[in-house]
Structure 1
Amino acid sequence: MTPPLGDIAHLGHVELLTPDLDASVDFFTRILGLTENGRDGNSVYLRTFDDYEHHSLVLTAHGTPGVRRTALRTSSGEALHRRIKELEAAGRPGRWAEDEPGIGPLYLTSDPDGHELALYWESEHYVAPPALKPGLKNQPQAKPSHGVGVRRLDHVNFLGSDVAANAAFTRDVLGARPTEQIVLDSGTLAAQWLTFTNKSYDVVYTSDWTGSSGRLHHIAFATDTREDILRAADICLDNDVFIETGPHKHAIQQTFFLYVYEPGGNRVELCNPLTRLVLAPDWPLITWTEAERAKGQAWGLKTIESFHTHGTPPVA
């Protein structure tokens, strides 16, 4: 039996693919306020000010946008090997790699949809250079003085050809706990939100309308306050960043949000979910119906059509 909420400590980092590396780096550093923390070939390593590891995001030049790798840190070396054993028992292939700075050996595998997942334990804690030294010793890095100043990588939303299979894998093999879901009138599971922590969600699977596998809906960065989301909208407006929808509040998970497209084409959410934690060990799975979702977001904003159709890489 997989122990819930234990072996996977948290979402570590995500690698995004972009056809315009320079423009994507400019967006994440100048507009969102991430710090560049190294380069290797066609990849650039970036970090938020409050993530404690070497990087929160990897940007890699590629012909099309999308997600290449999602890294999950385990709670110990023993936990890493327990999850590997569960993966092997589930018939999921895997291999070892050691190809990221500040990170030890990674065990590479994939979910049933083909999204690459990396599990690891060994990790260096970031030490800020003098120019980025924080005023408080319990903070990894000084807050950025420009851009939105996002605090941390919050979650990743995968598009999946079979939400039920991917969610079951994340629950049964990796040990996540589902908190909310959408079930259509047909009985089909259209989306599920899962957590490894006491946050209300770390990973989401949403049905891919194209039936494709391995695509990305969005990655999300958390801000300190709701006001930061409003300020982010103005910053994006002033810098010709495409705003897809928001600012507004989700009904599901109650997250205050703004969705934009970074220059490479990937959807990015800026969110403020920091006030909502799932502390109940017996939290009941909340199910939303088609009729309830047709009402739109928390304050009546209808869900924009592109929210259901845009994903990366694009499908003809």
Structure 2
Amino acid sequence: MTPPLGDIAHVGHAELLTPDLDGSVRFFTDYLGLTVNGQSGDSVYLRTFDDYEHHSLVLTAAEKPGLRRTALRTSSEEALRRRVAALEATGHAGRWVEDEPGIGTLYLTADPDGHEIALYWETEYYEAPPEFRPALKNQPQAKPNRGVGVRRLDHINFLAADVAANADFQQQVLGARPTEQIRLDTGTIGAKWLTFSNKSYDVVYTADRTGSTGRLHHIAFATDTREDILRAADLAIDSDVFIETGPHKHAIQQTFFLYVYEPGGNRIELCNPLTRLVLAPDWPLVTWTEAERAKGQAWGLQTIESFHTHGTPPLD
């Protein structure tokens, strides 16, 4: 039985691996406008200005790029215990760790594809130092005066060998709700979007055409407006940031987007989905066919080939 919506509150943070730690830190601070909030060994902790927690993103030095961890905050200590019990009952048993600043004990497990998932409840609310103190007391940090100034980590798009199995894990074990999907002519589910809240999506699974497991398609940061994304495109060409595709509008979820690569090789999306919420408790799953997707994005832009082939870590 699918658990009730609400045990998972939201995506907390993500940990990216990068072979160019210094370059990646510069990208996320100078271009996107995140703030460094600590470092431990080969890991740097960064935050968006509207995040209430210690960090939104962890960058860790590694030989290859990729996604090490996706952290999900639960809605209570009891909700955490319920999801851990469900994980263990369905063969997804993990282990408890305390290995991140500002975060209490995390329960580490993995989805069927092998992506590491961390669940936690205890967290440290960010208190801005004088130089980052906002004028409005209901905002955790002053808006950055550099770069794009993204507001929050918005969603994670995983590559997966079996989209349906991984989406079922998110839905049946963690309590996500599917909102949209692509069904191929073979009947196979090619991609699926799921939400833990009234956002239209928090996590996505996209079929890995190579059949590989555990890889990343992209992580996404939300902006205040569409104009911020247009500005981000201008900043990208001024800053020698590689633009893969966009600015444009997705047909699925209607997200206004820009895709770029950070120096470590991971794909980053800048998105503006803030105007679209799923408020219906009985939202009907929207299914797109292969023929419908062949038409391209919302205004006719064809999906670039690298969108189907680039993932991290790269394959040998």
TM-score (norm 2): 0.99
Q: Are the equivalent residues in 1 in contact too, given 2:3–2:173 (CA < 8 A)?
A: no
Q: Are the equivalent residues in 2 in contact too, given 1:4–1:177 (CA < 8 A)?
A: no
Structure-1 residue corresponding to 2:144: 144
Deviations 1:8-41 (A, max 9, x none): 0000000000000000000000000000000000
Q: Which amino acid aligns with 1:238?
A: D
Mapped to 2, the partners of 1:134 and 1:2 lie a distance apart of 41
Structure-1 residue corresponding to 2:42: 42
Structure-1 residue corresponding to 2:178: 178
Displacement after TM superposition at 1:3 (Å): 2.6
Mapped to 1, the partners of 2:296 and 2:5 lie a distance apart of 31
Structure-2 residue corresponding to 1:238: 238
Q: Which amino acid aligns with 1:132?
A: F
Q: Are the equivalent residues in 2 in contact too, given 1:23–1:263 (CA < 8 A)?
A: yes
Mapped to 2, the partners of 1:149 and 1:246 lie a distance apart of 18
Structure-2 residue corresponding to 1:191: 191
Displacement after TM superposition at 1:111 (Å): 0.1
Q: Are the equivalent residues in 2 in contact too, given 1:87–1:93 (CA < 8 A)?
A: yes
Mapped to 2, the partners of 1:147 and 1:4 lie a distance apart of 39
Structure 1 segment 60-75 matched on structure 2, within 5 A: 60-75=60-75
Structure 1 segment 83-162 matched on structure 2, within 5 A: 83-162=83-162
Q: Which amino acid aligns with 1:42?
A: D
Mapped to 1, the partners of 2:298 and 2:86 lie a distance apart of 38
RMSD: 0.5
Q: Are the equivalent residues in 2 in contact too, given 1:160–1:206 (CA < 8 A)?
A: yes
Structure 1 segment 268-307 matched on structure 2, within 5 A: 268-307=268-307
Q: Which amino acid aligns with 1:202?
A: D
Mapped to 2, the partners of 1:225 and 1:201 lie a distance apart of 18
Mapped to 2, the partners of 1:105 and 1:69 lie a distance apart of 15
| Mapped pair 1:80 → 2:80 | yes
List 4+ stretches of structure 1 deviating above 3 A: none
Structure 1 segment 255-266 matched on structure 2, within 5 A: 255-266=255-266
Match of 1:258, SS state, is strand
Displacement after TM superposition at 1:57 (Å): 0.1
Deviations 1:49-87 (A, max 9, x none): 001000000000000000000000000000000000100
Q: Are the equivalent residues in 1 in contact too, given 2:161–2:207 (CA < 8 A)?
A: yes
Mapped to 2, the partners of 1:134 and 1:4 lie a distance apart of 36
Structure-1 residue corresponding to 2:251: 251
Displacement after TM superposition at 1:147 (Å): 0.2
Displacement after TM superposition at 1:5 (Å): 1.8
Q: Which amino acid aligns with 2:48?
A: T
Q: Are the equivalent residues in 1 in contact too, given 2:71–2:119 (CA < 8 A)?
A: yes
Structure-1 residue corresponding to 2:27: 27
Q: Which amino acid aligns with 2:57?
A: L
Displacement after TM superposition at 1:4 (Å): 3.2
Q: Which amino acid aligns with 2:262?
A: E
Structure-1 residue corresponding to 2:225: 225
Q: Which amino acid aligns with 2:239?
A: N
Q: Are the equivalent residues in 2 in contact too, given 1:133–1:142 (CA < 8 A)?
A: yes
Mapped to 2, the partners of 1:263 and 1:280 lie a distance apart of 40
Q: Which amino acid aligns with 1:216?
A: L
Mapped to 1, the partners of 2:254 and 2:285 lie a distance apart of 15
Mapped to 1, the partners of 2:220 and 2:305 lie a distance apart of 20
Flag structure 1 segments of 5+ consecutive residues without an equivalent: none
Identify which range, 2-11 or 204-213, moves more after superposition. 2-11
Match of 1:87, SS state, is helix
Structure-2 residue corresponding to 1:166: 166
Match of 1:13, SS state, is strand
Q: Which amino acid aligns with 1:194?
A: L
Match of 2:174, SS state, is coil
Structure-2 residue corresponding to 1:59: 59
Mapped to 2, the partners of 1:30 and 1:210 lie a distance apart of 34
Deviations 1:247-287 (A, max 9, x none): 00000000000000000000000000000000000100000
Structure-2 residue corresponding to 1:203: 203
Match of 1:81, SS state, is helix
Flag structure 2 segments of 5+ consecutive residues without an equivalent: none
Displacement after TM superposition at 1:2 (Å): 3.5
